[in-house]
């Protein structure tokens, strides 16, 4: 933690405890007095929102697991039993299912925020990498979770994803399929697969919670970045975390929860796929196998490559690229506010991700018709994939060299003072 501890134990017990296991001191320094830049805006509330959503997912998940049966013959009906026969089972299940979507909405905003303000740059590289690991863990958790209700999309989604490994056969014959068979615990997605996925789906959120602790530790050593992207110069730039940010974060968490709960109560199947209300059937392939919305951009990149192994590599590469961002960005300036060229490329990148998501949701042979001219979507996805990689591997390194940033304010309190005069 930055700065010496200011905790003063108030009672005899607190003093006794403080010289044995200073838990209260730790909590006090972490969430009460922690010095925080005073200019953090709305976009900085998403860390708290993510922590809130993780709590919701773990709590609702534990209750669901009390009633869920991880067995290929019983899983679907056990979920329907939760919906119909368990007190408030429908609420728990809809909260968990929609919770996953809102967790991803929050994490994407959180990541774009990090990108925009250059929060991955020194000295926050480890913080950023821990964030990427959290994101990858979230993707894995969500994938395992989606398999559990054992509907048509559960089954076929799991089949498509696990089959990626058999693409490795193209380098080392039989090895890829051997890995797939090992993952399945059989020769196809089945009961054994469902059981291990349930086990992992229960485990990973607690791993996430552990990595979140590291993430916050890595945040509290250098301290928060801020929308100006400049270092704090002294106490005049800071506020204690409590009450300033506890109250600000609480307000935004409540606002976020309001929107989330509106979906839970009034459009609980909005993010879902109707096919998942049909029990898994290994002999009937659904006409369109699509992943959940938050994975669509990657799915579009995968499909934009005509060769299976290359497609899988491109998809894996798009995720792993995120780990290198701290070193791909060569600019001395953190915040995009002062980077006129980066600003444009950044927003184009946001649009690019949305375009990829759109392409991923359409059937593989879809095309966009403009009058009499039909443009196959796969070509749009190809261009978008190119920009995705180009943004990180070409534009980011180059911009740092050729761009002329706007002048930076001298301190966080300076623009505030200037405005007051």
The CB-of-223 to ligand HEM minimum distance in angstroms stands at: 8
- Tokens 């609980």, residue? 268
Selection from other proteins, ligand HEM, none that 54 binds (CB < 5 to 8 A by kind) is ligand HEM
- Tokens 């979140």, residue? 212
Whole-number Cα distances in Å, 8 to 12, 16, 33, 36, 220: 11, 12, 12, 20, 21
Q: Using the minimum distance from each CB to ligand HEM, give the nearer residue, 326 or 357.
A: 326
What letter would DSSP give residue 72?
Answer: T
The CB-of-262 to ligand HEM minimum distance in angstroms stands at: 22
Residues in region 207-246 near ligand HEM by CB under 6 A:
208, 212, 215-216, 219, 224-225
Spatial CB neighbours of 192, under 8 Å, sequence gap ≥ 6: 184, 185, 186
Spatial CB neighbours of 388, under 8 Å, sequence gap ≥ 6: 297, 301, 318, 349, 352, 353, 356
Count of CB atoms situated within 10 Å of the CB of 217: 14
Spatial CB neighbours of 267, under 8 Å, sequence gap ≥ 6: none
The CB-of-41 to other proteins minimum distance in angstroms stands at: 12
Q: Does 369 bind other proteins (CB under 8 A)?
A: no
Q: Does 135 bind ligand HEM (CB under 6 A)?
A: yes
In terms of C-beta distances under 8 Å and separation of at least 24 residues, what long-range contacts does 62-71 make, across chains too? 63/92, 64/92, 64/93, 64/96, 65/202, 68/148, 68/198, 70/148, 70/194, 70/195, 70/198, 71/191, 71/194, 71/195
Q: Using the minimum distance from each CB to ligand HEM, give the nearer residue, 47 or 149.
A: 47
Selection from ligand HEM, other proteins, none that 117 binds (CB < 5 to 8 A by kind) is ligand HEM
The CB-of-77 to other proteins minimum distance in angstroms stands at: 7
The CB-of-166 to ligand HEM minimum distance in angstroms stands at: 29
Q: Does 394 bind other proteins (CB under 8 A)?
A: no
Q: Does 100 bind ligand HEM (CB under 6 A)?
A: no
Number of chain positions touching other proteins (CB under 8 A): 33
Q: Does 131 bind ligand HEM (CB under 6 A)?
A: yes
- CA dist 330 and 325 (Å) reads 10
- CA dist 250 and 229 (Å) reads 24
Give the burial string for 132-152 (b: 16+ CB within 10 Å, else e).
bbbbebbbebbbbbbbbbbbb
Q: Using the minimum distance from each CB to ligand HEM, give the nearer residue, 191 or 231.
A: 231
The CB-of-113 to ligand HEM minimum distance in angstroms stands at: 7
Q: Using the minimum distance from each CB to ligand HEM, give the nearer residue, 79 or 208.
A: 208
Q: Which residues bind ligand HEM (CB under 6 A)?
A: 44, 46-48, 50-51, 54, 107, 110-111, 114, 117, 119-120, 124, 127-128, 131-132, 134-135, 138, 208, 212, 215-216, 219, 224-225
Q: Which residues bind other proteins (CB under 8 A)?
A: 38, 77, 80, 83-84, 90-91, 94, 239, 243-244, 247-248, 250-251, 254-255, 257-258, 261-262, 264-266, 268-269, 274-275, 277-278, 287, 416, 420
């Amino acid at each position: 933690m930055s700065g010496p501890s200011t905790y003063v134990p108030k009672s005899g017990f607190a003093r006794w405890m403080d010289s044995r296991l200073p838990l209260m001191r730790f909590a006090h320094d972490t969430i009460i007095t922690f010095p925080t830049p005073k200019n953090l805006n709305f976009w900085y509330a998403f860390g708290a929102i993510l922590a809130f959503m993780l709590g919701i997912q773990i709590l609702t998940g534990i209750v669901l697991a009390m009633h869920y049966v991880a067995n290929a013959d019983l899983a679907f009906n056990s979920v329907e039993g939760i919906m119909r026969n368990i007190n408030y089972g429908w609420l728990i299940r809809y909260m968990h299912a929609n919770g996953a979507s809102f967790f991803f909405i929050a994490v994407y905003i959180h990541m774009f925020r990090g990108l925009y303000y250059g929060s991955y740059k020194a000295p926050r590289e480890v913080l950023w990498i821990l964030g990427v690991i959290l994101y990858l863990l979230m993707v894995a958790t969500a994938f395992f979770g989606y398999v559990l209700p054992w509907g048509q999309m559960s089954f076929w989604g799991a089949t498509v994803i696990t089959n990626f490994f058999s693409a490795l056969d193209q380098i080392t014959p039989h090895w890829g399929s051997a890995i797939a068979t090992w993952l399945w615990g059989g020769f196809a997605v089945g009961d054994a697969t469902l059981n291990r996925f349930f086990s992992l789906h229960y485990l990973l959120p607690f791993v996430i919670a552990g990595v979140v602790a590291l993430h916050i530790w890595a945040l509290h050593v250098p301290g928060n970045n801020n929308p100006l992207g400049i270092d704090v110069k002294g106490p005049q730039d800071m506020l204690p975390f409590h009450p300033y940010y506890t109250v600000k974060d609480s307000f935004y968490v409540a606002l976020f929860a309001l929107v989330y709960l509106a979906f839970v109560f009034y459009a609980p199947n909005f993010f879902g796929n109707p096919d998942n209300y049909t029990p898994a059937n290994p002999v009937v392939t659904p006409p369109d196998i699509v992943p959940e919305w938050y994975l669509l951009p990657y799915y579009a990149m995968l499909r934009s490559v005509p060769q299976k192994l290359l497609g899988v590599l491109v998809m894996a590469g798009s995720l792993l690229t995120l780990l290198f961002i701290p070193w791909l960005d060569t600019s001395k300036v953190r915040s995009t506010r002062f980077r006129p060229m980066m600003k444009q490329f950044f927003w184009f990148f946001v649009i690019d991700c949305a375009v990829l998501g759109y392409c991923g949701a359409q059937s593989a042979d879809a095309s966009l018709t403009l009058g009499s001219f039909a443009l196959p979507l796969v070509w749009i996805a190809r261009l978008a994939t190119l920009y995705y990689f180009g943004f990180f591997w070409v534009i980011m390194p180059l911009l740092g060299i050729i761009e002329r940033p706007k002048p930076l304010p001298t301190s966080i309190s300076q623009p505030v003072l200037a405005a007051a005069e």
